[in-house]
Chain A
């Protein structure tokens, strides 16, 4: 410990939350400023002279209020037909009602040319592909978020500084290296990213905030793993960039979905049968000295297959059943691993994906009902799950038995107050699984309730961002991908946060980016590719621009 530490701590425990609050406020302002403008890329015109602009590359036409092209005609169905860009042209396909193109009934997807005449119900429309009066939105440059990144860097530097002084003698080199590498990595990413049109840091800021907290927790709770954590973060960033590039090739993804599904299932089954059991769940795989959790990567594959399986807007029945079968197999192998927290997370993703694409609410209802029955069965068949549920909501009565982890988390969170006692000065990190399952308590105790609240709000921010991206992205593939990814992260964060604080039963899942664990960190970064891929091509502008305009 350095002699200046007490003074630095006394000051920085006020400065850090203040910076966190500033980052949050600026992020909100940034989020509002970076809203992409609507751009008219085609239009439908009716015989009365009314014009319906098309601002999305895939959308619905119908009577419904939420249709991208909403027609005031009682004879038109709510979600009558769907139009989309594909392979260099526009297509239309009927969904709930009949469509004729140039007086020929459309049976299946039909290409749409400039000037084509359509009939939906009693409405006659002319399709105008290339709108000459469109404004040029390539002049729109969202704010880059440099100021936000500067604030975040300050936050990281102050936090790293506090830890450096705290562990002046114990970890003289490791801490400056790790925080320095993280800061260098994010600035490199930012400076390179600025060359990409429409680049912004909306998604990256919360992720980096969480990663920083993860590094800080790891530095205090298990410094021997700090380099590993850092390397996994950097590997995660690299993997995230690569995966984003792949996701941008929609047709490649569609082609790859069977391969991805097959490999995922094979690895999961292998783990379920031959994996290592740590803390009750058999979900670890050890290969050549490295141990990893395949179920973490399965989350990425699950979203991938889910979004692909419902990729073509006029989905085939086969695709739906393929995805449902895949989901059942994935969750089945997770049950074999006795990893029920993960099953719940996958189930939430499943519901989000199905609800976004299927009109069949009964199927989703049946699935939820089945899940409830399965949940009851699990508590009957697995006594340790039942005992965890047993302590739920009265942990203080069993504070030294089944409620041990929750009560210790609450004690720690209360001891930290809003400002915290300083990194490495808490006691929660000494108990088993603190830096994974109880990480919210560790952050609350050492860095304070405000910074911990900031971490929780990061997940909210990602959820809100996902909804905006889904609204503006090019196709259902990205919309589903980003919502499912965000839903998974948010639900997992909820299980972690509320499980360890006794608002939900404790399930022992990690908090993405913050909990220690290489696989989980890498997988979390890769999952962010769904965000970047969705935002990289608003209105299909990027790659297909030259061909269309």
Chain B
């Protein structure tokens, strides 16, 4: 029967294709299983499209931000805390894609590829965040009705104490109802992308320190602006002859454009990339929007503008907060993270994989940059607002077209030992950085708890 059996080729092919199909199916299940299982009709963990079976989420002080009780998912009873933390904690319907409820869905519900959604006790795994709920409320109140974001983290430990994005909504209610406000589901700290304005001058200054041997002695002239290849680049003041430090303190456009030209397109681009531009940064494995710097190929006038945070520059607030942390930490800092701990085993592994330090620059450069930013506060912004913080900071006023009011930026860090915090504040369409953003930063940093 050898001859006849050999002709059962169709059966052999069928067996082969069946096995291939099985491999494909199980491969797909391994890769996309969590996404399948987190579809909101899955009654193992959802009811009426809202997550119900998941562990509790608490802040750094044990304040319950969300938990499940009697088959119902409840957020904190305080509406202000709910709204101030919704972008960090996330909603139950998956609208806030970077929130813990969505980004840590598997860890919270106890899903893994081996056990699926089986749970011996019918509950998920708990999770503690590094957030301080009260500080978030302070930031949320300070932002008020304006759209924007406040991020504060401890550059020694990496703990994010404050992560607020506005506009916001109450996750206890149906998420879809909040959709009328523009960008309400977006966590602007992680997913925002803004023109940076003058805060970018810190990057240019770093590049100057890295690339010009006479960085701290070289001077340029400002006459309410400067002419670059027959085109005018305007400045807000007539600063005269300025060196790097004065230029940063007075935020002189003309000087920084000339510094940028002196450094060159390649060098400035390399510096930008070394501090996180054009790279995807992650927070606990959650991908943030990339910051973007484009100097190479630009005309000289455009390159000049790019050196002072205009042209095509865009900045993600989380990236800038990390950058500030690195300056504060002497060139490197602990990676910012949101989750302090969890009793989920895969969760622990994930946290471990996302810890560590980010290294961005040399220690002496960080020291000089910090000193210049400190001087900007003492000489220019007014240290009286920031009593006891030893604040080092830089303002930004990001022009976003002729008709719209500019975005207001304030970034920096405290040198006070009790408050080792780096921060970023962006307020959309709020005008000068010295004003809206800086006063919010002052309120939040004063309210921030002292680090142990």
Binding site for B on A (CB under 8 A): 6, 10, 13, 56, 58-60, 64, 66-68, 79, 348, 351-352, 355-357, 399-400, 407-408, 410-411, 413-422, 427, 445, 448-449, 453, 456-457, 459-460, 463-464, 466-467, 470-476, 479-480, 483, 486-487, 490-491, 493-494, 497-498, 501, 503-504
Would B118 and A494 count as touching, CB distance under 8 A? no
Q: Nearest CB to that of A78 among chain B residues?
A: B3
Q: Is there an interface contact between A463 and B11, defined as CB atoms closer than 8 Å?
A: yes
- CA A355 to CA B34, docked complex, whole Å: 44
B232 at the binding interface (Cβ < 8 Å)? no
* B26 CB to nearest A CB, Å: 7
Task: Say whether A67 contacts B1, CB under 8 Å.
Answer: no
CB within 8 A of B39: which of A351, A407, A493?
A407
**A408: which of B5, B41, B116 is its contact (CB, 8 Å)?**
B41
Are the C-beta atoms of B26 and A449 separated by less than 8 Å? yes
CA A66 – CA B18 in complex, angstroms?
26
Contact between chains at B18 and A480 (CB < 8 Å) = no
List, sorted by A's number, 8 A–B pairs whose CB atoms are closer than 8 Å: A58-B1, A59-B1, A66-B6, A355-B10, A414-B34, A415-B42, A417-B117, A503-B21
Contact A422 B37 (CB under 8 A): no
Shortest 9 CB-CB distances between A and B: which pairs? A417-B116, A414-B36, A414-B37, A471-B5, A470-B5, A414-B33, A483-B8, A60-B3, A427-B43
Tell me whether B145 is interfacial, beta carbon within 8 Å. no
**Complex Cα gap A64–B4 (Å):** 12
A490–B1 contact, CB under 8 A? no
Q: A415-B117, A417-B111, A460-B19 are in contact. List 6 more A-B contacts (CB 8 A).
A: A417-B113, A418-B116, A420-B116, A448-B116, A470-B4, A472-B1
CB-CB under 8 A for A56 and B1, given A407-B39, A411-B39, A464-B15? yes
Please state if A348 and B29 are interface contacts (CB–CB under 8 Å).
no
Q: Are B3 and A417 in contact, with the CB atoms below 8 A?
A: no
State how many angstroms separate the Cβ of A506 from the closest Cβ of chain B: 14
User: What residue in chain B is nearest A409 (Cβ atoms)?
Assistant: B36
Closest to A421 in B: B118
Please, what's the 1-or-0 string for B18-39, where 1 marks a CB less than 8 Å from any CB in chain A? 1101101110010011111101
Known: A413-B29, A503-B25. A352 touches B118 (CB 8 A): no
- Kindly state whether residue B120 has any CB partner on chain A within 8 Å: yes
Knowing A490-B14, A491-B14 are in contact, say whether A67-B36 is a contact too (CB < 8 A). no
Taking a contact as CB atoms under 8 Å apart, the answer to whether A355 and B42 are in contact is no
Interface size class of B (residues with CB under 8 A): 35 or more
Whether B3 pairs with A59 at a CB distance below 8 angstroms is yes
Residues of A within 8 A of B32 (CB): 414
B positions within 8 Å CB-CB of A? 1-12, 14-15, 17-19, 21-22, 24-26, 29, 32-37, 39, 41-44, 111-118, 120
Q: What CA separation (Å) do A408 and B2 show in the bound complex?
A: 45
Give the CA-CA distance A351 to B26 in the complex, in Å: 29
Q: Is A487 in contact with B17, judged by CB distance below 8 angstroms?
A: no
Specify which of B8, B12, B41, B113 is in contact with A418 (CB 8 Å cutoff).
B113
CB distance from B45 to the nearest CB of A (A): 8
A297 to B3, CA, bound (A): 30
- Does A453 lie within 8 Å of B113, measured CB to CB? no
Q: CA separation between A508 and B6, bound complex, in Å?
A: 32
A328–B171 alpha-carbon span in the complex (Å): 62
CB-nearest residue of chain A to B45? A415
The distance from the CB of B226 to the nearest CB of chain A, in whole angstroms, is 55
Using Cβ atoms and an 8 Å threshold, which residues of chain B touch A501? 25
Residue on A with the closest CB to B122? Answer: A6
Residue of A nearest to B24 (CB): A503
Contact B2 A67 (CB under 8 A): yes
Q: CA of A355 to CA of B24 in the docked complex: distance in angstroms?
A: 28
**What's the Cα separation between A237 and B9 when bound, in Å?**
30
A417 x B5 contact (CB < 8 A)? no
Once bound together, how far apart are the Cα atoms of A240 and B21, in whole Å? 30
Indicate which residue in A13, A413, A490 contacts B18 across the interface (CB closer than 8 Å): A490
Partner of A487, one of B14, B36, B42: B14
CB closest residue in chain B, given A470: B5
- For the complex, give the distance between the alpha carbons of A367 and B332 in Å: 71
Do the beta carbons of B115 and A411 come within 8 Å of each other? Answer: no
Closest to B41 in A: A411
CA distance A445 to B43 in the complex (A): 12
**A373, B35: Cα distance in complex, Å:** 38
CB neighbours (8 Å) of B43 from chain A are: 427
CA gap between A60 and B7 in the complex, in Å: 13
Contact B18 A416 (CB under 8 A): no
Given contacts A66-B6, A411-B39, whether A490 and B112 have CB atoms under 8 Å apart is no
- Please pick, from A79, A400, A408, A493, the residue contacting B3 in the complex, using a CB distance under 8 A: A79
Whether B114 contacts A480 by the Cβ 8 Å rule is no
| Partner of A419 from B8, B15, B36, B114 at Cβ < 8 Å | B114
Which residues of chain A are near B19, meaning CB under 8 Å?
460
In the complex where A459-B18, A460-B19, A479-B5 touch, is A417 in contact with B118 (Cβ < 8 A)? yes
B119 and chain A: residue at smallest CB distance: A421
A463 contacts B14, C-beta separation under 8 Å: yes
Provide the bound-state CA to CA distance between A399 and B26, in Å: 20
Partner of A351 from B10, B111, B118 at Cβ < 8 Å? B10
**In-complex Cβ contact of A348 among B14, B36, B116 (8 A):** B14
Are B10 and A352 interface neighbours, CB within 8 A?
Answer: yes
- Please name all residues of chain A whose beta carbon is closer than 8 Å to the beta carbon of B41 when the two chains form the complex: 399-400, 408, 411
Given A352-B8, A417-B112, A470-B8, residue A460 in contact with residue B118 (CB < 8 A) = no
Would you give the shortest CB distance from B112 to chain A, in whole angstroms? 7
Q: How far is the CB of B28 from chain A (nearest CB, A)?
A: 8
**Cα(A417)–Cα(B114), bound, Å:** 5
Given contacts A413-B29, A422-B118, A494-B21, whether A467 and B12 have CB atoms under 8 Å apart is yes
State in angstroms the CA–CA spacing of A448 and B118 once bound together.
Answer: 10
Checking B11, B17, B37, B114 against A415 with a beta-carbon cut-off of 8 angstroms, the contacting residue is B37
Quick one: closest A residue to B114, CB to CB?
A: A418
Q: Which residue of chain A has its CB nearest to the CB of B19?
A: A460
Instruction: Flag if A471 contacts B25 (CB, 8 Å).
Output: no
Contacts of A491 in B (CB 8 A): 14
Contact A415 B113 (CB under 8 A): no
- With contact pairs A399-B39, A413-B36, A463-B18 given, residues A68 and B9 touching in the complex (Cβ less than 8 Å): no
Cβ-defined contact, B11 with A352, below 8 A: yes
Chain A's closest residue to B10 (CB) is: A352
Contact between A453 and B1, CB atoms less than 8 A apart:
no
